[in-house]
Amino acid sequence: MLSEGDILFSSLLSSRSLFWPPGLILLFYLVFYGFLAALFSFTMWVMLQTLNDEVPKYRDQIPSPGLMVFPKPVTALEYTFSRSDPTSYAGYIEDLKEFLKPYTLEEQKNLTVCPDGALFEQKGPVYVACQFPISLLQACSGMNDPDFGYSQGNPCILVKMNRIIGLKPEGVPRIDCVSKNEDIPNVAVYPHNGMIDLKYFPYYGKKLHVGYLQPLVAVQVSFAPNNTGKEVTVECKIDGSANLKSQDDRDKFLGRVMFKITARA
Amino acid sequence: MCFPLTTSWRAFHQTPEIYSVELSGTKDIVKTDKGDGKEKYRGLKNNCLELKKKNHTEEFQKELHLDDHKLSNRELEKKYGTDIITGLSSTRAAELLARDGPNSLTPPKQTPEIVKFLKQMVGGFSVLLWVGAFLCWIAFGIEYSSNKSASLNNVYLGSVLVLVVIFTGIFAYYQEAKSTNIMSSFKKMIPQQALVIRDSEKKTIPSEHLVVGDIVEVKGGDQIPADIRVLSSQGCRVDNSSLTGESEPQPRSSEFTHENPLETKNICFYSTTCLEGTVTGMVINTGDRTIIGHIASLASGVGNEKTPIAIEIEHFVHIVAGVAVSIGILFFIIAVSMNYRVLDSIIFLIGIIVANVPEGLLATVTVTLSLTAKRMAKKNCLVKNLEAVETLGSTSIICSDKTGTLTQNRMTVAHLWFDNQIFVADTSENHSNQVFDQSSRTWASLSKIITLCNRAEFKPGQENVPIMKKAVIGDASETALLKFSEVILGDVMAIRKRNRKVAEIPFNSTNKFQLSIHETDDPHDKRFLMVMKGAPERILEKCNTIMINGEEHPLDESTAKAFHTAYMELGGLGERVLGFCHLYLPAHEFPETYKFDTDAMNFPTSNLCFVGLLSMIDPPRSTVPDAVTKCRSAGIKVIMVTGDHPITAKAIAKSVGIISANSETVEDIARRLSIAVEQVNKWDAKAAVVTGMELKDMSSEQVDEILANYQEIVFARTSPQQKLIIVEGCQRQDAVVAVTGDGVNDSPALKKADIGVAMGIAGSDAAKNAADMVLLDDNFASIVTGVEEGRLIFDNLKKTIAYTLTKNIAELCPFLIYIIVGLPLPIGTITILFIDLGTDIIPSIALAYEKAESDIMNRKPRHKKKDRLVNQPLAVYSYLHIGLMQALGAFLVYFTVYAQEGFLPRTLINLRVEWEKDFVNDLEDSYGQEWTRYQRAYLEWTGYTAFFVGILVQQIADLIIRKTRRNSIFQQGAFRNKVIWVGIASQIIIGLVLSYGLGSVTALSFTMLRAQYWFVAVPHAILIWVYDEVRKLFIRLYPGSWWDKNMYY
């Protein structure tokens, strides 16, 4: 194959036609490609003019939000820790702290306190973001326990619903988490019942809805102190809302998420 | 004694010089006997070395005893253990048959069907696909070893490539098998029969069952069933032309007349024809051991040349492979320097190389060639080997046979001379228009002689057959005269009946005349009429009066001179001239009851009355002069190679335009200037007539000189073997040579030629086997249509390839951008396959239906080393101009889709890694929305579909611009080729079905695309069209300019 490449190269570089005289050919390609580049830039510019800065033109491909968990998984949705070894979960705590930074009281002080239990529709031109009191996450808020329960063997995982512009959940949405292992059924969710308040919807987009905080749900799995070397699989699903799907054959993260926690000795 | 032939067969592999004589005897004999005809067997001497290589030496080493012509009948009986009277016994014959095998030529070793089939899958193009497939699998292997969940795309792609090769192979095999079937249907269905004496009985057996020692009887019209030694003969004459090229009938008798078995009169050869008389002979050789069997086996020793189109496709594969490897390595280096892992970079490298493989082209080219083959078959050119379709188009020299190809292959009356005047007869195929003056009473007498002094008869039961097509029993001249008189006078048989024949002396070579005596149809005239025809000078000798305007005049010096002038003139036209005379026998000397005795010759044969001359020729087919002119204007040199006499050859050459009206040979110049031939500067002449005798003494340099310097060449008196020398000479001039032939002896030349053209009707099976193409109507004019189709297909293949290559860049760029810029992959492998093997297939085949842009028959044949199928401008223009524009257009659609869904172009840059992570399910777009992996994947497929549609829309523009290479679309007519529009429709329909019909099938990664995205690339498509129109305009405006050189492909 290589020798064939050589043949071509030598024939391409032979002075016979295209590359001779070099000046003229260079000029030609300079002009030609310059023109093409300009044309492409122009058509791209025209295309960008058809867009709206605030809202994408179509939102048909994300009709329903996915769920995502924190700490951010690296390769797979698996968390392994050992309560006796702080280094084993230091990364998770770091990650959670980082994630919860926008949720600190300090950060939220400019946000609005919104009426609970109803969609918070706004007409603009200024869009305000609702406060999400981090205390709602109770034991997983990190306020009382900076280790998010890892040191006690009760690790916290945060569950987040993806932002989608204009999404208005129907009914009373909540995130329901269950353990798949019968011997460790102790899965606690905060806020109570995994409720997601409608006041955080709809979302108006990055540009308009500055400071928007999406509602969170925390999951706490309690491993019995003597129960080491156990693993548990937890599945969280959106429930209670007709227009938020939690069942899709192809998309395993549409309205649901499944993760595994392993507690080592 | 062992005949010298033995020594020469054996010496053959020692000295290259000898082969030339091995069939004619040894050199010693050549020296002692300078007889005519020996030179005819010289021929293959230059091929010795080649043949030697082919391991044929063994075959020639076999002792070939051929001394049977010298043996007496008794010795023969002893040698073959037979009896001349009783023949062989059936049991003995069966034994011999078991020992020697059937008496038939072993067909050249047939390539086993499976080998033929497999051959279809290893050609230049297929190799490219095979390499691509293996690279795919290797890439998958690498991926799989590092990641068990590697995508199976590469496996699919590899398998698809292999499937393409296999299906195309099956298709090509089927096509070629089909034409082989048509050919075999031409074989004579009725097995040949032979009349043999066995067990003292005459039996008719299939000639395949003949064995040596059989006593056979052959009568006029039959083929000689084996090599036979003549035991007795009655006026037997044979046509040896298939063996020697000698078209004159040869007498055969039982006398041993020549040392050389080919010259002696007492041997008849297998496959020659007994024209008249009967012969009884003993079979001395059967099947492959016959002389013709030996010659036929030579053909398999001549190598088959690669077809020009195969060379072109190989060249194309080199270019594609070169481009692929160059780009691949370039981006491998870039990828490595961008800190990609080496293993990933290797996968990129393989991906790039494979992306360059035009998957659909193999199938397209094959289908295109077979479409043309089909079209050619309709015009009576049957192509045996698909690739040979194009070869005729690049042909620069045609070496054509005369008899049957250029001529009608039947003697026809061309001129008459009576009343001191030459009249022209109509020689066209149907003879319909005889305009010469028939009012003269001389004509009345002449027509009577023509009618009566003729033994030929129409075969019965042909009442409704047109006269010219009726089958006749009789030799060629008599047939010509019979048909001529039948056309003019009406029912000849009735005339003969009214003029009852009372005595007859048939033609023989000693007295050279034919005579018959008739009662007249005038009841009051009791005289007998004696009519005679024969060689003009012999006839004139016997006359003392000449008939002019119905009156007998004494034959004086001036009339004799007039006769000679006319005779020379007609002879100079290469025509066979016959003289006619008659005499009314005085009634008192020859009363009604007179008994004529042809042995005692009890009647006068002198002092007759000379009536006229009549000349015959095998006239050119009426379509041939036009076809030769077309070849001329197409820059094709037509060389006539014939076994016929130079004068006849030259006359026919002149009448069909192979020698044009105003060109002269050296001999013509000498005659005009009245100087000796040697004094003429031989390069002053434009035309040359070279005889086999001259050819045999020439070195190959001299042959080259002749071929290069004369525009118009006729080779006369050549043996079929000498054709090979001529073909090789032409090939040394870098010409692509087409050869026509029909005889077994032509098969080596047919095989050696770049394209061998065999005659479907007259051709022997051996010739058809060796040829690449068969003319079903034996007509030279069909070759011209073949040339036209061949040239058209070459042009159209260029267009097809240009069309196919263009989108390769549009398919490759996304991958390169993906590596370098980190965009989510714009188009997937499977989507690309749907373009290459889906939407683009019918359009690229549709280009095969494109009409020629200009008169392709008015330009020179392409130079096989300079005018390439895929040249640099084609590759550059397709890849770097249109291909790039297409890529930009497709990217525009892609970016539009992503942007309108929320991912602005700047967000996409370097998004690739995050985008492809399976556990990132909250990837943020430009508007703050978060996407799960599957939602992204679905968007990615929408992107594929968008890119696909972008390419598709622009390929429509590409298809339209590829209709022409030089002319504007408006000159060509946008709607003349309807198939193009079928192609465009198919493209759109397949696209719609993929997007909207199969959009929900995940594995295909197509999605339903919003209707407006179909129009995003339309401005780019229009731009492509406008750009190409501008290109063509400048090419037309400034021919030969820098632009023309760089932009015309």
- Residue B10 is predicted with a pLDDT of 35
Question: How far is the alpha carbon of B212 from chain A, nearest alpha carbon, in Å?
Answer: 59
Answer yes or no: do A102 and A24 share one domain. Answer: no
Instruction: Provide, as residue numbers in chain A, all residues whose Cβ is less than 8 Å from the Cβ of B902.
Output: 56, 58-59, 62
Instruction: For residue B866, give every residue at least 6 positions away whose Cβ sits within 8 Å of its Cβ, in sequence order, or none.
Output: none
Q: List domains and CATH numbers for chain B.
A: 67-90+192-301 (2.70.150.10), 381-405+621-778 (3.40.50.1000), 412-617 (3.40.1110.10), 794-1047 (1.20.1110.10)
Instruction: Provide, as residue numbers in chain A, all residues whose Cβ is less than 8 Å from the Cβ of B919.
Output: 73-77
Cα(B664)–Cα(B715) distance, rounded to whole angstroms? 15
Question: How far is the alpha carbon of B309 from chain A, nearest alpha carbon, in Å?
Answer: 19
Q: Find the CB nearest A5 among B326, B896, B921.
A: B326
Counted domains in chain A? 2
Taking chain B (1049 residues) in consecutive chunks of 10 residues, what is each chunk's mean pLDDT? 36 33 33 38 38 37 60 85 86 88 75 81 81 88 81 84 88 80 57 83 87 87 86 84 67 82 83 83 87 72 74 87 90 91 85 84 87 88 86 91 81 89 82 75 90 87 81 82 87 88 81 87 85 91 89 88 90 88 88 83 87 90 89 92 86 90 86 85 86 87 90 86 86 90 79 88 78 86 88 92 92 91 90 90 92 86 87 92 95 95 93 89 92 93 94 95 91 88 94 85 84 94 95 92 88
Domain contains A6? no
Question: How far is the alpha carbon of A37 from chain B, nearest alpha carbon, in Å?
Answer: 9
Instruction: Provide, as residue numbers in chain A, all residues whose Cβ is less than 8 Å from the Cβ of B942.
Output: 61
Domain contains A151? yes
Helix (H, G, I), strand (E, B) or coil at B1037: helix
Question: Given an 8 Å threshold on Cβ–Cβ distance, is A36 in contact with B888?
Answer: yes
Question: Given an 8 Å threshold on Cβ–Cβ distance, is A68 in contact with B896?
Answer: no
Using CA atoms, how far residue A1 sits from B124, B155, B315, B321, B962, in Å, is 13, 21, 13, 7, 30
Known active-site residue B401 = yes
Domain contains A81? yes
Question: Given an 8 Å threshold on Cβ–Cβ distance, is A205 in contact with B927?
Answer: yes
Could you give phi then psi for residue B201, rounded to 5 degrees?
-120, 150
DSSP codes of every residue in B731-748: HHTT--EEEEE-SGGGHH
Answer yes or no: do A85 and A161 share one domain. Answer: yes
| Residue to test with chain B: of A13, A17, A35, most B Cβ within 10 A | A17
Is A129 or B404 the better-scoring residue by pLDDT? Answer: A129
Instruction: Provide, as residue numbers in chain A, all residues whose Cβ is less than 8 Å from the Cβ of B326.
Output: 5, 8-9
Cα(B394)–Cα(B738) distance, rounded to whole angstroms? 10
Helix (H, G, I), strand (E, B) or coil at B349: helix
A44 at the B interface (CB within 8 A)? yes
Domain contains A107? yes
**Residue from B68, B214, B227, B401 carrying the catalytic annotation:** B401
Question: How far is the alpha carbon of B322 from chain A, nearest alpha carbon, in Å?
Answer: 3
Answer yes or no: do A25 and A146 share one domain. Answer: no
Beta-strand ranges (E) seen in chain A are 67-70, 78-82, 156-161, 174-179, 187-190, 216-221, 230-239, 256-264
- pLDDT tens, residue by residue, A140-172: 888 888 888 888 888 899 999 999 999 999 888
The average confidence (pLDDT) of chain A is 84
Answer yes or no: do A41 and A108 share one domain. Answer: no
Kindly state the helix (H) or strand (E) to which residue B913 belongs, with its residue range. helix B912-916
- Residue B594 is predicted with a pLDDT of 85
Helix (H, G, I), strand (E, B) or coil at A49: helix
Cα(B908)–Cα(B207) distance, rounded to whole angstroms? 83
Cα(B604)–Cα(B225) distance, rounded to whole angstroms? 43
B1002 at the A interface (CB within 8 A)? yes
What is the DSSP secondary structure assignment for residue B5, as one 8-state letter? H
Using CA atoms, how far residue B841 sits from B365, B390, B549, B1006, in Å, is 10, 21, 75, 19
Instruction: Provide, as residue numbers in chain A, all residues whose Cβ is less than 8 Å from the Cβ of B349.
Output: none
- Residue B18 is predicted with a pLDDT of 29
Which domain, by its residues, includes A43? Answer: 13-48
Question: How far is the alpha carbon of B835 from chain A, nearest alpha carbon, in Å?
Answer: 24
Cα(B719)–Cα(B745) distance, rounded to whole angstroms? 9
Cα(B811)–Cα(B55) distance, rounded to whole angstroms? 51
Instruction: Provide, as residue numbers in chain A, all residues whose Cβ is less than 8 Å from the Cβ of B930.
Output: 65-66, 68, 162-164
Answer yes or no: do A78 and A201 share one domain. Answer: yes
Domain contains A7? no
- pLDDT tens, residue by residue, A174-203: 999 998 887 766 788 988 888 899 999 999
Q: Find the CB nearest B927 among A25, A74, A165.
A: A165
B325 at the A interface (CB within 8 A)? yes
Question: Given an 8 Å threshold on Cβ–Cβ distance, is A5 in contact with B925?
Answer: no
Cα(B233)–Cα(A87) distance, rounded to whole angstroms? 118
Taking a C-beta distance cutoff of 8 angstroms, is the pair B775, B380 a contact?
Answer: yes
In chain B, the residue whose alpha carbon lies closest to the alpha carbon of A254 is B932
Answer yes or no: do A218 and A87 share one domain. Answer: yes
Answer yes or no: do A19 and A135 share one domain. Answer: no
- Residue B432 is predicted with a pLDDT of 66
In chain A, the residue whose alpha carbon lies closest to the alpha carbon of B934 is A251
Helix (H, G, I), strand (E, B) or coil at B720: coil
In chain A, the residue whose alpha carbon lies closest to the alpha carbon of B889 is A40
Q: Find the CB nearest A18 among B872, B902, B1016.
A: B872
A236 at the B interface (CB within 8 A)? no
Question: Given an 8 Å threshold on Cβ–Cβ distance, is A17 in contact with B872?
Answer: yes
Taking a C-beta distance cutoff of 8 angstroms, is the pair B927, B903 a contact?
Answer: no
| Residue to test with chain B: of A27, A36, A95, most B Cβ within 10 A | A36
**H helices then E strands: how many in chain B?**
41, 28
Interface of B with A in 331-390 (CB under 8 A): 353
Question: Given an 8 Å threshold on Cβ–Cβ distance, is B927 in contact with A1?
Answer: no
Interface of B with A in 836-875 (CB under 8 A): 872-873
Answer yes or no: do A26 and A100 share one domain. Answer: no
Question: Given an 8 Å threshold on Cβ–Cβ distance, is B899 in contact with A48?
Answer: yes
- Residue B183 is predicted with a pLDDT of 62
Closest Cα partner for B721 from B262, B381, B55? B262
- Residue B122 is predicted with a pLDDT of 81
Answer yes or no: do A19 and A138 share one domain. Answer: no
In chain B, the residue whose alpha carbon lies closest to the alpha carbon of A257 is B921
Domain contains A105? yes
User: 10 Å Cβ neighbour count for A230?
Assistant: 17
Instruction: Provide, as residue numbers in chain A, all residues whose Cβ is less than 8 Å from the Cβ of B873.
Output: 17-18
Using CA atoms, how far residue B742 sits from B378, B469, B509, B829, B859, in Å, is 21, 21, 29, 52, 30
Question: Given an 8 Å threshold on Cβ–Cβ distance, is B1046 in contact with A17?
Answer: yes
A71 at the B interface (CB within 8 A)? no
The owner of tokens 């149907």 is: B430
A244 at the B interface (CB within 8 A)? no
Question: Given an 8 Å threshold on Cβ–Cβ distance, is A66 in contact with B930?
Answer: yes
- Residue B932 is predicted with a pLDDT of 93
Q: Find the CB nearest B934 among A36, A205, A253.
A: A253
| Residue to test with chain A: of B904, B908, B921, B1023, most A Cβ within 10 A | B921
Domain contains A175? yes
Write down the H helix ranges in B680-828: 692-696, 700-709, 722-732, 747-752, 765-770, 780-820
Question: How far is the alpha carbon of A79 from chain B, nearest alpha carbon, in Å?
Answer: 13
Cα(B373)–Cα(B375) distance, rounded to whole angstroms? 5
Question: Given an 8 Å threshold on Cβ–Cβ distance, is B325 in contact with A1?
Answer: yes
Interface of B with A in 31-90 (CB under 8 A): none
Taking a C-beta distance cutoff of 8 angstroms, is the pair B737, B753 a contact?
Answer: yes
Domain contains A1? no
A45 at the B interface (CB within 8 A)? no
Helix (H, G, I), strand (E, B) or coil at B382: strand
Answer yes or no: do A182 and A252 share one domain. Answer: yes
Interface of B with A in 891-930 (CB under 8 A): 891-892, 895-896, 899-902, 904-905, 919, 921-922, 924-930
Question: How far is the alpha carbon of A225 from chain B, nearest alpha carbon, in Å?
Answer: 31
In chain B, the residue whose alpha carbon lies closest to the alpha carbon of A60 is B901
- Residue B119 is predicted with a pLDDT of 81
**Sign, Cα dihedral of B278, B284, B287, B292:** negative
Answer yes or no: do A139 and A170 share one domain. Answer: yes
Radius of gyration of chain B (CA): 37
Tell me what the mean pLDDT of segment A222-233 comes to: 75
Q: A109: buried, middle or exposed (CB in 10 Å: 19+, 13-18, 0-12)?
A: exposed
Q: B190: buried, middle or exposed (CB in 10 Å: 19+, 13-18, 0-12)?
A: exposed
As a whole number of Å, the end-to-end CA separation of chain A is 58
B323 at the A interface (CB within 8 A)? yes
Answer yes or no: do A44 and A69 share one domain. Answer: no
B1046 at the A interface (CB within 8 A)? yes
Using CA atoms, how far residue A147 sits from A98, A184, A208, A219, B479, in Å, is 13, 21, 35, 14, 119
